Amino acid sequence: MLDQGDVTVEDIRFRAEDGWELAGTIYRGAAPRLAVMISAGTGFPRRFYRHVAAFLAAQGAVVLTYDFRGIGESGAENLAQSGIDYPDWGQLDMVAALDHLESLAPAMPLTTLGHSIGGQFVGFMQNHKKVTRHAFVAVGNGHWGVHKPRNVPLELFWWWGYGSYCLARHGYIPSGGLWGGEALPPHVFKTWRRWSARRSYLLPDLAAGRYSHQFDGVDSPICAWVMSDDPIATNTACGDTLGHYSKAKANMVVRTPKQLGAKKIGHEGAFRKGREALWAELWDWLAEAGLPVVSAKRGRLYCGTES
């Protein structure tokens, strides 16, 4: 049950530049002073982020969650033939979501909170200059070689066994079985697999001009939170992604489950109900006007603000 308090919640629809209709939800606090766009991880529907969205709205924000095309209520009639590619989510959907949020929260600072691919794909947004700062959670290189070793056998089976079987049988990746997320379009899976098979991840495709991007132009500050028990978005994986944003002041926070009052968090647990300790840190970062500074805490980087 979502404890909304003084937060109003409204489901909406809006369109991307190419006409694709996207489903979203707006959470609005009583006296908002900040706008936050929450971008999902691969295969996660927007409803997964309802608790953190309501929390941020209660602090004083207008918050937009939305489903990427092909996911949840932004789905396609024929997913196998939809033609949706992975970067479409950043180039089209994230751009449209930010523009729509701006129209609903005029004159408010625009910020983003990205989970996994929702942080990686900021570099595909042609309107990124509108954003004052970014918060990344569980964001990192998808290559299995920078993930925790215990996760590698499952990942390799996912890419080259189960996923290939699903494409051959269904033409897309259905929900259920080994894949716990929403059904995935075939080109999304294939691009994700191609990138994840190499240490350089998406960089060769960018260098070859395969996709238009702005990774080297993003200059708004970024703070990235890594969960110590996340088998995917490890310190190294996150560092790789932050390295793609060469002009941004980018720092990393590492948190243990114990620090956040949990037994485990992993790759998606940061957004489950009861993570208010982390959400308060996200709010403090997004709501601050100062520039990030770094201090050493047990060898980790910590995002703070200038006093």
Digit-coded pLDDT (tens) for 120-164: 999 999 999 999 999 999 999 999 999 999 999 999 999 999 999
- pLDDT in the model for residue 22: 98
**How many angstroms separate the CA atoms of 150 and 173, rounded?**
24
**How many angstroms separate the CA atoms of 123 and 250, rounded?**
13
Residue 296 has pLDDT above 50, yes or no: no
pLDDT band at 2, cuts 50/70/90? low
Contact present, 62 and 105 (Cβ < 8 Å): yes
Q: Is 300 exposed, middle or buried (0-12, 13-18, 19+ CB in 10 A)?
A: middle
In the DSSP assignment, the letter for residue 184 is: B
Find, among 245, 250, 260, the residue nearest to 223 by Cα.
Answer: 250
- pLDDT in the model for residue 288: 82
- pLDDT in the model for residue 254: 97
**How many angstroms separate the CA atoms of 121 and 215, rounded?**
9
**How many angstroms separate the CA atoms of 210 and 207, rounded?**
8
Q: For residue 130, what are its two tokens?
A: 């509108």
- pLDDT in the model for residue 286: 97
Angle at 273 between CA 272 and CA 279, to 5 degrees: 80
Average pLDDT over all residues of the chain: 93
| Domains, the chain, with CATH or none | 8-151+213-305 (3.40.50.1820)
- pLDDT in the model for residue 294: 44
**How many angstroms separate the CA atoms of 216 and 174, rounded?**
35
Residue 295 has pLDDT above 50, yes or no: no
**Model pTM score:** 0.93
